[in-house]
Amino acid sequence: MTSIFYFIIIILIAYGLGKLLFNLFIRKPNSLLEDFTFSVGLGLALLGYVVYIIGSLGFLYQKYILTALMLCVLVAIYPAYRFIYGFRHYNISKTIKSLNIFEKFLIGIIIFVPVVCLFGALAPEIGNDTLSYHLYHPKIFIENHKIGYIPFTRESLWPYLAEMLFTMGLILKSVTVAKLFHYFFGILSAMAVFSFTRKFFSQKVALLATALFLSAPGIFMQMVYSYIDLAQCFYSFLAFYVLMLWMESKHIRLLMLSAVFVGLTISVKLLGGITLLVLCLIMLLEFIRIKTNYKNMLKYFFIFGFITFLVCCVWYIRSYFVLGNPVYPFLHNIFGTGWETNINVDVGTKKDFLGFLMLPWDVVMQLDSFGGQQIGVIFLAFLPFLFFVSLKNYPQHYLFIFLICHALLWFVVDPQLRFTFANFAVAFILISIGFYGALRKYNLSFIKILLLICILFNMVLCVYYNIDAIKLSFGLTSKENYILHKERTYPIATFVNKNFPSNSVVIAICEPRGFYFDRKIIFYDIWENVTKGNIYPYIAKLKKDKVPVYLLFRDDGDLGQFKTTIAAKIPIYKIAREVDEGRFASYYLFEL
């Protein structure tokens, strides 16, 4: 509970800070929700950059982060107070009473998903990428009291805006606070979807779109891990949202705010670049529609590009200066450092026109081909409602353009479903518009029942995926049991932490998860790619410095240079763990 309390305080600070920034761009927001969503989005980013600056200077201590937060409180307290005070005039029960049964049901879903996912968010972390770097690297930053390059890693100089928030959560309190950030990005995304749809369409369409978005299994499954995809989805969608507001008023400040959000998207993940390209295309189409002259067009594009660059450049410039490659380890042919990374080899279907046309079917029916996440059956079953979307106004046109262009680029670059969450939002908004468009013309009672059944099925899935976390919250199982059952490296890490000297180094083969280890871990696969050399001189140097060296080997990996060394050794620890659904592997620990 204290974690939730800490988190609420941070969000209020973020709101207060963000509100001051937000006022620079928009004086009068369309609604309280829009004000909150935009301000918190800006405030969280600002807090992330504060942590980054403190960490880069080597002052990553709890006392400095707390001092910075206290200073932020001074600035944020008045806007935050005004926001809370503003709620006094808002009569939520009156709004709910005016809704029909179907809309009340949707409200129930919108409340139910975050409540169930909160149990998952409060449970110990078990996500793969999280334990490999999203939380593992912040843990190392805190140990080193500095944010920067971690030797023999692939990701430590990637754009880490969301990870800065995780770092703040870890340093202030616990893993739970860090996890709550990503959970909250899911809620913020839903708020943004609701606010956008209500602004441009209607409240009932907004309720349906938000309920469909939150009930997509990919969304509620991600909310319980400290991944970064919901942060990317949130900023990406906000960038589109503000661009639509700009089209209404053509006020340059709105274009600038949209550029800020694009910059933040790219500060969260490199693939945010897809949003930049799509929004540039939308801008271009709008300029052509309103017959803007070339000079003005260039001016707007320059402003947009410059602000985007300004917001996100710090991550890429530091990577360039430290490793000689702004997108390390990708594009190694151009920059000379890095290595061949076939990120999209195992994901997606055939990358041709037919493959793209079949995408809606494939993303639902071939789960494993798109990284294992799900968009859910509702998307495909109710996709024909897109034909009922009226194309009278510009938001619908641009929603369609965003949907198709974003999907196309994502499909070509790296079609893991979680990388396109912003498109989930757009797709569900369009389906909701189409649904109510069709409802005006036809009797769709049976379809409505089918929709309710599908949503309820997704709710069952939501509970099913969080059932162990719910049990944990109600004390039906212990935290130890929960992690032991859910996290494959936990018993090995416990053994290592208990038995190995504190200065020891563990070389891990075929196991990227290092979060639960309190000893220095070197991931052999990455080491090999980074150095392209012989590891034995490195081990000899460590031993010469009286550093004990161990080898952690998972038997579904390749021993590489250790083949002959290990053949004659007896493991000091051995355990079999489930590494994938139904697939087991044995782990061995050797002393080198």
What are the residues binding another protein (CB under 8 A)?
364-365, 367, 377, 380-382, 384-385, 438, 441-444, 446-447, 450, 454, 582
CB–CB of 185/233 below 8 Å? yes
Which residue number, 297 or 461, has a Cβ lying nearer to another protein?
Answer: 461
- Note the maximum CA span of the chain: 80
Which residue number, 308 or 466, has a Cβ lying nearer to another protein?
Answer: 466
Which residue number, 367 or 413, has a Cβ lying nearer to another protein?
Answer: 367
Which residue number, 447 or 559, has a Cβ lying nearer to another protein?
Answer: 447
What phi, psi does 500 have (nearest 5°)? -90, 145
d(Cα 261, Cα 42) in Å, to the nearest integer?
Answer: 8
Which residue number, 151 or 384, has a Cβ lying nearer to another protein?
Answer: 384
- ω into residue 329 within 30 of 0, thus cis? yes
Tell me the CB-side half-sphere exposure of residue 67, using CA atoms within 13 A.
7
DSSP 455-511: HHHHHHHHHHHHHHHHHHHTTSS-HHHHHHHH-TTHHHHHHHHHHS-TT-EEEEES-
**Minimal distance in Å, beta carbon 485 to another protein?**
13
**Minimal distance in Å, beta carbon 441 to another protein?**
7
**Minimal distance in Å, beta carbon 384 to another protein?**
6
**Minimal distance in Å, beta carbon 461 to another protein?**
10
| Residue with tokens 């639509």, as numbered in its chain | 244
**Minimal distance in Å, beta carbon 445 to another protein?**
9
DSSP 155: S
Between CA 402 and CA 244, with CA 230 as vertex, the angle to 5 degrees is 35
d(Cα 215, Cα 454) in Å, to the nearest integer?
Answer: 9
What count of other Cβ atoms lies within 10 Å of the Cβ of residue 272?
A: 26
Alpha helix positions (H), 26-155: 32-56, 62-86, 92-97, 101-122, 128-129, 136-144
**Minimal distance in Å, beta carbon 452 to another protein?**
12
**Minimal distance in Å, beta carbon 454 to another protein?**
7
**Minimal distance in Å, beta carbon 349 to another protein?**
14
81: tokens are 């107070």
Which residue number, 356 or 379, has a Cβ lying nearer to another protein?
Answer: 379
Which residue number, 352 or 368, has a Cβ lying nearer to another protein?
Answer: 368
Which residue number, 362 or 511, has a Cβ lying nearer to another protein?
Answer: 362
Which residue number, 330 or 457, has a Cβ lying nearer to another protein?
Answer: 457
CB–CB of 509/560 below 8 Å? yes
**Minimal distance in Å, beta carbon 342 to another protein?**
27
Strand order across the 573-580 sheet: 520-523, 505-509, 549-554, 583-591, 573-580
Which residue number, 152 or 379, has a Cβ lying nearer to another protein?
Answer: 379
**Minimal distance in Å, beta carbon 382 to another protein?**
7
* 174 CB burial (10 A radius; 0-12, 13-18, 19+): middle
Cα 521 to its chain centre, rounded Å, is 25
Tell me the CB-side half-sphere exposure of residue 374, using CA atoms within 13 A.
17
